[in-house]
Chains A and B, each alone.
Chain A
């Protein structure tokens, strides 16, 4: 079993719709959860971080965490063509300090105009 699992996609969503990205993780000791966006040929950029069960909203993005189910998701509302990218889920065992990140394989999202 992979430590962090994501559906590789591609996931196609019409412009203006909601894109839903999912991630599961195997390490119950995981404390910090991140969503990164990566455009082709570029390095990842942080979209959201979440640490507690429930929802966290930031603009068009909502991260959801359920530690009991070891599940974290990202919703993108009012999807735009510029949201087309690969979305990487990453987890860490630490809330602070310099603990390493473990990445999923990423979900490729395409927003259709």
Chain B
């Protein structure tokens, strides 16, 4: 089946530093990647939609200068949390839709990255 590989699976960083999270589609081309954030005991909140070769579309309330998204190829999208602060500590998950399986299939999720800012 379609696999989205996400790295790192967990990261601890100091306040003020930047962290990059990568998502790769391993056996399909993902023209669009979705980035979610999930706080403890809450649901997934869409942060932005990443489109290959163009600027990402951010959801209302998400700072585009803080959460930098790059989708330079059909198999790789990255999310960089810049100047991270403790309130950015969360579970970040990427997702893509596998269009080659036909339009009526669900979205495949990466394994997630647990970010802890200390």
- Listed stretches B11-19, B61-69, B79-87, B98-106; interface member: B98-106
Is A74 engaged at the interface, CB distance under 8 Å to the other chain?
no
Is A25 engaged at the interface, CB distance under 8 Å to the other chain?
no
Residue total for A at the interface (Cβ-Cβ under 8 A): 23
B31 touches A98 (CB 8 A): yes
A34 and B32 contact, Cβ closer than 8 Å, known pairs A42-B111, A43-B112: no
Q: How far is the CB of A34 from chain B (nearest CB, A)?
A: 5
Residue total for B at the interface (Cβ-Cβ under 8 A): 26
Is A112 engaged at the interface, CB distance under 8 Å to the other chain?
no
Give the contacts of A1-55 with B (CB-CB under 8 A).
32, 34, 36, 41-46, 49, 51
Main secondary structure of the interface of A (DSSP, over half): loop
B111 touches A106 (CB 8 A): no
A98 and B43 contact, Cβ closer than 8 Å, known pairs A43-B109, A51-B104: no
A101 and B103 contact, Cβ closer than 8 Å, known pairs A42-B112, A43-B112, A106-B43: no
B34 touches A101 (CB 8 A): yes
Is A88 engaged at the interface, CB distance under 8 Å to the other chain?
yes
Find the A residue at minimum CB distance from B57: A100
Q: Which residues of A contact B (CB under 8 A)?
A: 32, 34, 36, 41-46, 49, 51, 88, 95-98, 100-106
24 example contacts (A-B, Cβ-Cβ < 8 A) are as follows: A32-B104, A34-B107, A36-B106, A43-B93, A43-B110, A46-B107, A46-B108, A49-B104, A88-B44, A96-B103, A96-B104, A98-B32, A98-B49, A98-B97, A100-B49, A101-B34, A101-B46, A101-B95, A102-B46, A103-B44, A103-B45, A104-B43, A105-B42, A105-B43
